[in-house]
Structure 1
Amino acid sequence: MPEIAWSDGRWTHPPAASVERDGDLLVTAVEGSDAWRITSYGFVHDSEHALLAPFPDGSAVEVEFTAAFSDQFDQAGVFVRVGAERWIKAGVEFADGRCQLGAVVTDGLSDWSLAPVPAWVDRRVTVRVSRDGTAVTVRAGLSGEDLQLVRVAPFAAELDAQAGPLVCAPTRSGLQVPLHRWRTTESDAGLHP
C-alpha cells in the first residue's frame, strides 16, 4: 500500500504546528478547530485541520494515528472534502467522557453517528475510507487488527474530492496528535468479507 508523503498534502486550515519526527507528523490543533454545519447546534464550524490530496473514484485512503484524547470533542481521523457544504469526517472523537468511533456526513447539513470504543484511548487506530462508484465506505479499528464497518454513505463517482488526515480540538488548546501513516490503495472489493 503506497505511502503518501506528508508534504504531498495541503491543509484546509493550518494547525498551530505540524512537525515531522521519525516519520510521524505531530499535529497541534488550534483551539476551536472543528467541522460542522448547522444541524441541532445551529452553528457552522469550518476550521478543521485536514491535510488533503486527490481522492479519485476507485481508490481508498487510510490514516493511522494515536488517539491520545482527554477533552470534550478531541478528534482525529480522515476528512473527505468536495466543498464547504459537502464533506465527510470519520474517526475517533472524545465525547461525553470516552472515546467514540464516529462519522459526520455533510451535504448542506451535518449528521453524526457515534459508538463507544473506550479501549481505544491512547492506542494506535487506523481509519480507512474507500470510494467506489456510488458510495464511500468507512472502516476503522485498532492498528494491526481487522477493521470494522462504520458507515456507508452516498457519494457519486463524478464528484471531485480530496481526502486525508484530520485533527480538531473544538474545546481546548494544546491537543497534539501523532499521525503515523497516510496511505492510498485501490477501493475495497465489497462491503463484506
Structure 2
Amino acid sequence: MKRYRWLNAPQQWSGDESHLHVVTDGATDFWRETWYGFKRFSGHFYGTEVNGDFTFQAHIQADFKTLYDQAGIMLVADETCWLKAGIEYNDGQPAIGSVLTQGHSDWTTGVFPGNARNFWMRLTRRGDSLRLQYSADGNVWPLLRLFHLKAQHCRVGVMCCTPERAGLAVDFSELTLTPPLDKALHDLS
C-alpha cells in the first residue's frame, strides 16, 4: 500500500486514503505568476510518491460557493512543475478546469455537464504523456486535457484550496492508484 502524506496540511481534517474529509484554511492556493504575478504553493495536497506509469482516480464532493473555491486531483514534481485539476468556482458558477505549471501556470476552464458538487477525476501517465479525464457519474470519462510532463519522480493525490476564504468542506473517496489503464484515447469508459 502506498503511503499518503500532506503538503500544507489543513487545520481540520480526518480520515485516510479510503475516505478523507477536509475543511480548507483561508488564503490557500497553488498558482505561479501568470496574469496575477504572484507565486502561491500553500494549497492542501494529500499525495503519495509515484515513479513510472500509473492511473490515479478519486471521487470528490464539495459545495463550491466562493470565487476560486477548488478541489480535485494533483500531480506534483516540485514547486515549479505541477498539475491541479477539478472543479473551481469562477464567473459565478463551478467549472471544470485544470492548471498546468511548468515554470508559469496556465489555466483552462469550461462548463461542467453534471452536478459539480459530486464528481470524479482520473489521471493516467504513460511515459512523458499524461491523460486527464473527469466524470459526472463515475462511468463516462471525457478527456479534459492531454499534456507532456517530463518529470518522472512525482507525488499524486487530491488537493483543495480557498484563496478568498476558509471553510470549504471537501470529501475525497475512492482514491485508487493502479498500473496505467490501457485504453484508447477516445475510449470514454
Instruction: State the TM-score, normalized to the length of structure 1.
Output: 0.90
CA distance in structure 1 between the partners assigned to 2:79 and 2:29 by the alignment:
13
Corresponding residue to 2:138 among 133, 144, 148: 144
- Equivalent residues in 2 for 1:150-161 (5 A)? 150-156=144-150, 159-161=152-154
TM-fit CA distance, 1:118: 6.3
CA distance in structure 1 between the partners assigned to 2:143 and 2:77 by the alignment:
22
> CA separation of 1:118/1:137 partners in 2, compared to 1, >3 Å: closer, same or farther?
closer
User: 1:166 maps to which residue?
Assistant: 159
CA distance in structure 2 between the partners assigned to 1:144 and 1:136 by the alignment:
20
- Equivalent residues in 2 for 1:68-147 (5 A)? 68-117=63-112, 119-122=114-117, 124-147=118-141
Corresponding residue to 2:62 among 67, 70, 75: 67
Residue identity in the other structure for 1:57: G
CA distance in structure 2 between the partners assigned to 1:41 and 1:104 by the alignment:
14
TM-fit CA distance, 1:48: 1.1
* Aligned partners of 2:114 and 2:136 also within 8 Å: no
CA distance in structure 2 between the partners assigned to 1:58 and 1:82 by the alignment:
14
Q: Count residues in correspondence.
A: 185
* Aligned partners of 1:67 and 1:125 also within 8 Å: no
User: 2:168 maps to which residue?
Assistant: 175
CA distance in structure 1 between the partners assigned to 2:57 and 2:113 by the alignment:
21
User: 1:192 maps to which residue?
Assistant: 186
Instruction: State the TM-score, normalized to the length of structure 2.
Output: 0.91
In the TM superposition, structure 1's runs of 4+ consecutive aligned residues that sit over 3 Å from their partners are: none
CA distance in structure 1 between the partners assigned to 2:81 and 2:139 by the alignment:
31
Q: Secondary structure at the match of 1:120?
A: coil
CA distance in structure 2 between the partners assigned to 1:129 and 1:176 by the alignment:
23
Q: Which runs of 5+ in 1 are unaligned?
A: none
TM-fit CA distance, 1:121: 2.9
